[in-house]
């Protein structure tokens, strides 16, 4: 694959504050990179440096192999979609979409054909004569996307485009954006603080915290093998269960032991993929396991190589339509399990919880990094 965007050693300072620190990223042509992280992590600033709306303090940005650091935004052949839509209120939808082409003196017939084509793609043909004030939030966002799409840029940049929409509309628009990317194949960089958006849209995800990239990978890699405790906790809803324990070596094997004052100790088999050779007996450890890897024996993957189980009291039951989330406590530590929708567990009941240890990972509590 041809590399469309390459970011090398990029840093950005505002005064004495380092907002971005030595960012290194690549995105293949036609890829969909999502920059995700909490508010203030630097993801929008990074997007703005790609767009040329912010200068860089150090490092280099290349688009299709061409350095663009000193290039004006209008010369970078990118199109940006903002959270605020930024539509002209006195223009119709068709005029809003065509405005950029009109400024570049594209002939009217070519403009009209391009607007019609984009309107078909976004299913807004019936809205072309309306003003922005007559549109819903989702319709306005489609128009903003149409204005970017009609330019046929090398790169699309999206800056939290769905954060002003209600929950159902966000889901609908996620589908539209994914469909648009599949149809056009345009290289896309997308900023969000919503990790569900990141997981559903991306071909690659970059997780940021305090101006630094914590991990880059496919949605599956980020979710199943988080590089550190921050990524494990931030990505996923509900987030990964993180349990503090100690290594219990037993000959060539190992287990993880959990103990708490006033609570009976619990021992679980070590995760299937853990490198036991890196661990010493008694080492402090953090076990990470996703809620869907905790359930009853019937719901656990029958192909799992290692399954551990424990009896524990049910504290909270949360029906969620397709699933039921059950909160329990093991050795004084809270755990969320994702059960079948028809589970009949009740608070106060002691239940049998099974752990798919093939899906579990270990973290070093000192560094926060994943082990193995």
Cβ pair 231, 225 in contact under 8 A: no
Q: How far apart are CA 297 and CA 16, in angstroms?
A: 55
Assigned domain for 369 exists: no
Cβ pair 331, 268 in contact under 8 A: no
Give the whole-number percent of the chain exceeding pLDDT 90: 60
Assigned domain for 309 exists: yes
pLDDT in tens, 236-251: 989 999 999 999 988 7
Q: Within this chain, do residues 246 and 179 fall inside the same structural domain, yes or no?
A: no
| Mean pLDDT, the chain, whole residue set | 91
Q: Within this chain, do residues 128 and 56 fall inside the same structural domain, yes or no?
A: yes
Phi, psi of 121 (to 5 degrees): -60, -40
Q: Which residues pair with 28 in a beta bridge?
A: 3
Q: Within this chain, do residues 223 and 250 fall inside the same structural domain, yes or no?
A: no
Assigned domain for 216 exists: yes
Q: Which residues pair with 26 in a beta bridge?
A: 6
Q: Within this chain, do residues 184 and 259 fall inside the same structural domain, yes or no?
A: no
SS3 call for 175: helix
CATH number at residue 123: 3.40.50.300
Assigned domain for 245 exists: yes
pLDDT at 1 (0 to 100):
65
What number is the average pLDDT over the span 174-198? 91
Q: Within this chain, do residues 160 and 278 fall inside the same structural domain, yes or no?
A: no
Assigned domain for 77 exists: yes
Assigned domain for 234 exists: no
pLDDT-derived band at 44, boundaries 50, 70, 90: very high
Assigned domain for 233 exists: no
Phi, psi of 212 (to 5 degrees): -120, 145
Quote the pTM value. Answer: 0.90
For the ranges 14-28, 162-176, 331-345, the lowest mean pLDDT is seen at 162-176
pLDDT-derived band at 187, boundaries 50, 70, 90: very high
Q: Within this chain, do residues 221 and 249 fall inside the same structural domain, yes or no?
A: no
Domain range spanning residue 64?
3-227
Q: How far apart are CA 284 and CA 278, in angstroms?
A: 12
pLDDT in tens, 136-171: 888 888 898 888 888 888 999 999 988 878 888 888
Final residue in a domain of this structure, among 197, 227, 257: 227
Q: Within this chain, do residues 67 and 215 fall inside the same structural domain, yes or no?
A: yes
Assigned domain for 218 exists: yes
* N- to C-terminal Cα separation, the chain: 29
Q: Within this chain, do residues 359 and 220 fall inside the same structural domain, yes or no?
A: no
Q: How far apart are CA 235 and CA 192, in angstroms?
A: 12
Q: Within this chain, do residues 63 and 116 fall inside the same structural domain, yes or no?
A: yes
Final residue in a domain of this structure, among 227, 253, 268: 227
Q: Within this chain, do residues 296 and 172 fall inside the same structural domain, yes or no?
A: no
Final residue in a domain of this structure, among 180, 199, 227: 227
pLDDT in tens, 75-94: 899 988 887 778 889 999 99
pLDDT in tens, 207-232: 999 999 999 999 999 999 999 999 99
Cβ pair 296, 339 in contact under 8 A: yes
pLDDT at 176 (0 to 100):
85
Nearest to 207 by CA among 276, 218, 283, 334: 218
Q: Is the pLDDT of residue 292 over 90?
A: yes
CATH number at residue 270: 2.40.50.140
pLDDT-derived band at 342, boundaries 50, 70, 90: confident
Q: Is 247 exposed, middle or buried (0-12, 13-18, 19+ CB in 10 A)?
A: buried
Q: Within this chain, do residues 145 and 294 fall inside the same structural domain, yes or no?
A: no
Q: How many domains does one find in the chain? A: 2
Q: Within this chain, do residues 200 and 296 fall inside the same structural domain, yes or no?
A: no
Q: Is the pLDDT of residue 314 over 70?
A: yes
pLDDT at 83 (0 to 100):
78
pLDDT-derived band at 277, boundaries 50, 70, 90: confident
Q: What share of the chain is helix, strand, coil (3-state, %, to 5)?
A: 25, 35, 35
CA dihedral in degrees (135, 139, 145, 146; nearest 10)?
-70
């Amino acid at each position: 694959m041809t590399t469309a965007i390459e970011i090398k050693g990029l840093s950005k300072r505002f005064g004495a504050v380092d907002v971005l620190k030595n960012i290194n990223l690549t995105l293949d042509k036609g890829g969909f990179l999502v920059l995700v992280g909490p508010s203030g992590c630097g993801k929008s600033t990074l997007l703005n440096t790609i767009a040329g709306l912010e200068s860089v303090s150090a490092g280099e940005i290349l688009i299709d192999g061409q350095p663009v650091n000193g290039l004006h935004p209008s010369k970078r052949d990118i199109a940006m979609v903002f959270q605020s839509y930024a539509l002209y209120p006195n223009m119709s939808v068709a005029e809003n979409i065509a405005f950029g082409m009109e400024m570049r003196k594209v002939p009217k017939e070519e403009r009209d054909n391009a607007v019609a084509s984009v309107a078909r793609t976004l299913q807004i043909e019936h809205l072309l004569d309306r003003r922005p004030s007559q549109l819903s939030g989702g319709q306005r966002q489609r128009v903003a996307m149409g204005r970017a799409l009609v330019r046929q840029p090398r790169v699309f940049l999206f800056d939290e485009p769905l954060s002003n929409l209600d929950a159902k509309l966000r889901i609908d628009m996620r589908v539209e954006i994914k469909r648009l990317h599949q149809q056009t194949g345009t290289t896309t960089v997308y900023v969000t603080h919503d990790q569900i958006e990141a997981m559903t849209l991306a071909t690659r995800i970059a997780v940021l915290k305090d101006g630094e990239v914590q991990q880059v990978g496919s949605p599956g890699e980020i979710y199943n093998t988080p590089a550190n405790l921050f990524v494990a906790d931030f990505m996923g809803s509900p987030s990964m269960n993180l349990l503090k324990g100690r290594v219990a070596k037993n000959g060539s094997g190992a287990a993880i032991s959990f103990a708490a004052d006033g609570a009976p100790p619990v021992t679980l088999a070590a995760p299937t993929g853990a490198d036991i050779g890196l661990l010493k007996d008694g080492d402090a450890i953090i076990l990470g396991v996703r809620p869907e890897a905790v359930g009853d024996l019937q719901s656990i993957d029958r192909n799992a190589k290692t399954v551990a189980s424990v009896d524990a009291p049910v504290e909270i039951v949360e029906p969620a339509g397709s699933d039921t989330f059950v909160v329990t406590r093991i050795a004084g530590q809270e755990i969320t399990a994702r059960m079948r929708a028809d589970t009949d567990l009740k608070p106060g009941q002691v239940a049998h919880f099974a752990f798919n240890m093939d899906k579990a990972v270990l973290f070093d509590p000192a560094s926060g990094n994943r082990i193995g």
